[in-house]
């Protein structure tokens, strides 16, 4: 594989432009079994059935071992996810299929959810949740910001963007493929940008404004999934001190100040670029939170030792379980960080604690939080468990799309920490205050 470009300055001049109307005749691939989940892994594939042979990125007809039709999928023989199902049944998906999928997605955001009445930043396409596995598109003002997880989607991104731009009236786009995904799918995945893509845009969520910078940004550039949670946190913040841990570009902290009328807000992040962007966002809104460049583990530990308490603490760390081999270590980090955060919330205060790790189910996260509360010596009530905003729909056939968990905890009285853990965590080596070096 060629070296991955580091920036959009190295992006290819031409956008991949494979037609949405498939070539005829379609290759056929047989699978041992396939339910309704859009992923068919390589180990479940029998192989090509006749000619023509499938090329990576092709739309293929999928049949079962008895030759009965399963549906149509994008093929990549070099990926562990060899088939990404687009449709079930016998009707071949051509351009009309893609147009219908996009129309349904846009209609949900505009007409059903009415997002454009309050914001110009929202998720337009949410991969499996919108029936287009491997493709995520966010809108930021007049820019479409795309994240791709599939070779087949990358090859067709040109005509897809043309269709979306006609429906949304946007003027610019940028396309990103995470290096880890490009390696897994085994294709270069160079970043792509429209010729006059601005380096940044200004977006708004109701009265709060944010600047989104594209070069070097995480994911698509801004986390639309927390929109409703940012709005909801304001209800708890009036005249309180608020701590926004892992603040990234200041989303929760600014909402606490502007919407919530918090007395004071402190924003913490280890990423210097994120802190700089958060400061720019604060200036944009003419508010003055306190910004601290620090590690969340070390900062919360120090606040606990100093006896400092906050009325509201928001804990929204980056994904701590990126893969299956990281589950044990990631759970330890979540546990340790929540123990530390629970200790610095004043009695009666709120801890909003989040996990964006799809490999940590909501039930396991709650069990982990119960163990953390016992270790921290706090009584706790769960007020609500929420997730991503509804422009991130989840297909019932692909429940891992419900990756975000946001647990709203009212912290009660202090009590003695528990003895040996009784929550299935004792064998994981979860020691108190053992955050990453």
- What CATH number was assigned to the domain covering residues 28-88? 2.30.130.10
Please give the Cα distance from 220 to 121 (Å, whole number). 11
Please give the Cα distance from 277 to 207 (Å, whole number). 18
Q: What is the CA radius of gyration of the chain?
A: 23
Contacts 24+ apart (CB under 8 A), 335-338: 335/368, 335/371, 335/372, 335/375, 335/425, 335/430, 336/297, 336/430, 336/431, 336/432, 336/433, 336/434, 336/435, 337/296, 337/297, 337/300, 337/435, 338/368, 338/369, 338/372, 338/376
Place of tokens 């739309």: 59
User: What is the per-residue DSSP string for 192-213?
Assistant: EE-TT--SEEEEEETTEEEEEE
Question: How far is CA 292 from each of CA 298, 306, 320, rounded to the nearest angstrom?
Answer: 12, 16, 21
Show the CA angle centred on residue 205, arms to residues 200 and 206, nearest 5°. 135
> 140 phi and psi, to 5 degrees?
-125, 100
Please give the Cα distance from 365 to 387 (Å, whole number). 13
Task: Supply the pTM of this predicted model.
Answer: 0.89
Total Cβ atoms within 10 A of residue 304:
18
- What CATH number was assigned to the domain covering residues 95-198? 3.30.750.80
> Would you give the distance in Å from CA 272 to the centre of its chain?
21
Tokens of 424: 């299935």
Please give the Cα distance from 129 to 393 (Å, whole number). 5
The confidence score (pLDDT) of residue 90 equals 80
User: What is the per-residue DSSP string for 102-152?
Assistant: HHHHHHIIIIIS-GGGTBSEEEEEEGGGGT-TTEEEEEETTEEEEEE--HH
The confidence score (pLDDT) of residue 5 equals 42
Question: How far is CA 250 from each of CA 173, 209, 289, 414, rounded to the nearest angstrom?
Answer: 24, 11, 9, 30
Please name the residues in contact with 90: beta carbons below 8 A apart, sequence gap of 6 or more.
69
Q: What is the mean pLDDT of each run of 10 residues along the chain (437 residues)?
A: 42 79 90 84 92 94 92 94 91 94 98 97 97 96 95 96 97 89 80 91 95 78 93 97 95 96 97 93 96 95 96 96 93 97 97 96 97 96 97 92 95 76 45 36
From 3.40.710.10, 3.40.50.970, 3.40.30.10, 3.40.50.150, which CATH number describes the 223-428 domain? 3.40.50.150
User: What is the per-residue DSSP string for 300-321?
Assistant: HHHHHHHT--EEEEEE-PPPS-
415, containing H or E segment: none
Please give the Cα distance from 263 to 350 (Å, whole number). 15
Question: For 213-347, where are the alpha helices, taking DSSP H only?
Answer: 227-233, 251-258, 272-285, 296-306, 327-342
Query: How would you class 166 by CB atoms within 10 Å of its CB: exposed for 0-12, middle for 13-18, buried for 19 or more?
Result: exposed
DSSP summary character for residue 436: -
Domain boundaries, the chain: 28-88, 95-198, 223-428
> 204 phi and psi, to 5 degrees?
-140, 145
DSSP summary character for residue 270: S
């Amino acid at each position: 594989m060629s070296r991955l470009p580091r920036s959009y300055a190295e992006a290819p001049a031409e956008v991949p432009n494979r037609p949405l109307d498939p070539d005829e005749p379609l290759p056929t691939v047989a699978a041992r079994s396939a339910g309704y989940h859009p992923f068919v892994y390589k180990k479940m594939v029998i192989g090509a059935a006749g000619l023509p042979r499938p090329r990576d990125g092709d739309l293929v007809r999928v049949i079962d071992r008895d030759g009965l039709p399963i549906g149509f999928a994008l093929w990549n023989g070099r990926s562990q996810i060899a088939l990404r199902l687009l449709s079930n049944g016998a009707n071949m998906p051509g351009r009309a299929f893609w147009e219908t999928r996009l129309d349904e997605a846009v209609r949900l955001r505009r007409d059903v959810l009415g997002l454009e009445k309050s914001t110009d930043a929202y998720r337009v396409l949410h991969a499996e949740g919108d029936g287009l596995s491997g493709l995520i598109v966010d809108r930021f003002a007049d820019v479409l910001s795309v994240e791709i997880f599939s070779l087949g989607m990358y090859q067709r991104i040109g005509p897809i963007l043309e269709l979306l731009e006609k429906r949304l009236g946007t003027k610019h786009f940028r396309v990103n493929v995470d290096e880890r995904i490009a390696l897994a799918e085994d294709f270069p995945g160079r970043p792509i940008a429209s010729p006059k893509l601005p380096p940044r845009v200004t977006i708004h969520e109701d009265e709060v404004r944010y600047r989104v910078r594209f070069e070097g940004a995480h994911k698509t550039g801004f986390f639309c999934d927390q929109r409703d949670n940012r709005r909801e946190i304001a209800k708890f913040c009036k005249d309180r001190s608020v701590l926004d841990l892992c603040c990234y570009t200041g989303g929760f902290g600014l909402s606490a100040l502007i919407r919530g009328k918090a007395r004071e807000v402190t924003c913490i992040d280890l990423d210097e670029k994120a802190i700089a962007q958060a400061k720019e966002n604060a200036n944009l809104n003419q508010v003055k939170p306190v910004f601290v460049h620090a590690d969340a583990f070390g900062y919360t530990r120090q606040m606990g030792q100093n006896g400092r308490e906050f009325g509201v603490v928001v804990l929204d760390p980056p994904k701590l379980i990126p893969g299956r081999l990281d589950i044990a270590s990631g759970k330890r980090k979540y546990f340790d960080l929540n123990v530390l955060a629970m200790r610095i919330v004043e009695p009666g205060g709120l801890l909003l604690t989040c996990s964006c790790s799809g490999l940590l189910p909501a039930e396991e996260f709650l069990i982990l939080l119960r163990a953390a509360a016992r270790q921290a010596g706090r009584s706790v009530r769960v007020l609500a468990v929420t997730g991503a905003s509804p422009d991130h729909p989840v297909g019932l056939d692909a429940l891992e799309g419900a990756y975000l968990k946001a647990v709203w905890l009212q912290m009660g009285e202090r009590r003695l920490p528990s003895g040996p853990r009784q929550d299935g965590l004792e064998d994981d080596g979860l020691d108190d205050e053992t955050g990453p070096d």
